[in-house]
């Protein structure tokens, strides 16, 4: 593919709002098809909620979304509540959301194959992996397996990136965190580190601060925005 052709394809990409205007600002508009965005943070920071509201946005525009659920935490009733709070028809949105319970890395790879082959998924423009690194951490546990884990993770991300580009899909990778201490200061880092950063276009960090969720880009310098978890989502 020539650079000219790639530029033409890029101009035709879709952008899905995050559902939170301030977050859209730091995301440069939202989640763009053909790109992968990592969203990491501790539990209860609104990561899954954010992905649900992006799925609702895609459904309203006539597209479907696919969730790769590695945690067993997908709750259709939470998506229904979000839709009602935003004045959307829950049944219409739920018909546009497909969920696969992926209990292994092999199962995660099968999803990509299904996206290419299943006619019913031809309108799928959003893929969410929740969470990205769980199965890799379980299957390659321990410090002696770090190299194998990162290699397997990199291979999976490579396939995801290819599917995002060729399938014209926005990919949201929800990820866990670990705490590291450097010079007496503790900070949160995403599991997978540079292996993940090599493949994604944007990295969003969500963290709790009192009654709010603070969102920022970890890949570039910029402002931190303040968000709130409500029935209508992360706003």
> What domains sit in the chain, N to C, each tagged with a CATH number?
12-234 (3.40.50.300)
**Count of Cβ atoms closer than 10 Å to residue 135 Cβ:** 23
Interval 198-229: pLDDT, tens = 999 999 999 999 999 999 999 999 999 999 99
Residue 93 scores a pLDDT above 90? yes
Asked whether 187 and 179 are in contact (CB, 8 A), the reply is yes
Interval 8-30: pLDDT, tens = 777 789 999 999 999 999 999 99
pLDDT of residue 37: 98
Residue 212, strand partner residues: 209
Interval 133-173: pLDDT, tens = 999 999 999 889 999 999 999 999 999 999 999 899 999 99
Residue 119 scores a pLDDT above 90? no
CA distance readout (Å), 95 to 92, 108, 170: 5, 22, 19
């Amino acid at each position: 593919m020539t650079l000219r052709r790639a530029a033409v394809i890029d101009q035709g990409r879709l952008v899905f709002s995050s559902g939170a205007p301030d977050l859209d600002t730091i995301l440069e508009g939202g989640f763009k098809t053909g790109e992968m965005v990592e969203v990491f943070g501790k539990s209860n920071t609104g990561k899954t909620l954010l992905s649900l509201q992006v799925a609702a946005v895609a459904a309203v525009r006539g597209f479907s979304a696919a969730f790769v659920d590695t945690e067993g935490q997908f709750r259709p009733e939470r998506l229904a509540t979000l839709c009602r709070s935003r004045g959307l028809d829950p049944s219409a949105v739920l018909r546009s959301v497909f969920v696969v319970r992926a209990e292994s890395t092999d199962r995660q790879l099968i999803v990509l194959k299904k996206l290419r082959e299943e006619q019913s998924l031809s309108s799928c423009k959003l893929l969410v992996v929740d969470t990205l690194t769980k199965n890799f951490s379980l299957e390659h546990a321990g410090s002696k397996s770090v190299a194998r884990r990162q290699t397997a993770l990199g291979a999976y991300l490579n396939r995801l990136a290819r599917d995002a580009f060729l399938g014209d899909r926005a990919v949201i990778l929800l990820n866990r965190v670990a705490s590291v201490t450097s010079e007496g200061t503790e900070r949160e880092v995403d599991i997978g580190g540079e292996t993940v950063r090599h493949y994604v276009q944007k990295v969003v960090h969500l963290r709790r601060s009192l009654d709010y969720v603070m969102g920022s880009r970890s890949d570039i310098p910029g402002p931190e925005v303040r968000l709130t978890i409500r029935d209508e989502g992360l706003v």
